Amino acid sequence: MKKPKLFILLITINIFLVFISSVSGARWPVQGSFPYLVGSDFGPRPYSESPMHDGLDFDASYGTEVRAIESGQVVYKRWENPNNHSQGYGYNIRIKGRSGIAVYGHLIVDDPNVGGYEDSDFFPAVNVGDVVVEGQVIGYADHTGHSEGDHLHLTVYTNDYQNKVNPLQLFSYSNL
C-alpha cells in the first residue's frame, strides 16, 4: 500500500521538531515568523554574488519588533560602514550572550546621533552597555545596508568573531 505524501511530510516535520527541541533554547527574534525564513538560509549560495550566507533572514515588515534571542550585553549599535550606508548589515545591533555575539542587521535607525535616515517614530530600544534579557525588544526591522527588502538578518559569531555558526542551532521548539 502506497503511503500518502502528507504522512511523509508529517514525519519529516516531527523529526525536525525533535531536533530543534534538543538544542540550547534561544528565543525566536521575530514574533510569528516560525517556520518561515525568507531570502536565504545559513550556508552556501552557489548562484549568488555572495557565495556564503552567514546568517538567517527572518520575514519582518518595516517596524516589526526585533527581540533578543538570549540575554546579554549590547556591545555595538551603529552602521556597518558609517561612510556607506548601503553596505553589509546596515544599521545593526550586536549583543554578547552565552552563545557568542549575535548580530541583528538591517534595522531602523532609531538614534538621531548616528546619521542616516532615522525614523522619529521609533525610540531607541537599547544602547551600547545595556544588559538585555531574552525576548526583550532591541530594535525594529527595516532594509538598511545591503538588502533587497524589509527583514531581519541574524548572524551569530563565536570565539570573538572567529567563527560563524548557524543560528538555527540555538533555538528550541518551545521558544519558537
What pLDDT digit, counting tens, does each position of 68-108 carry? 999 999 999 988 888 877 788 889 999 999 999 999 999 99
What are the structural domain ranges in the chain? 5-175
Tell me the whole-structure pTM to 2 decimals: 0.76
Q: 5-175: which CATH topology?
A: Glucose Permease (Domain IIA) (2.70.70)
- Are the C-beta atoms of residues 71 and 123 closer than 8 Å to each other? no
Residue 140: pLDDT over 80? yes
More confident residue, 23 or 140: 140
Residue 10: pLDDT over 50? no
Closest CA to 139 of 129, 124, 154: 124
Residue 21: pLDDT over 50? no
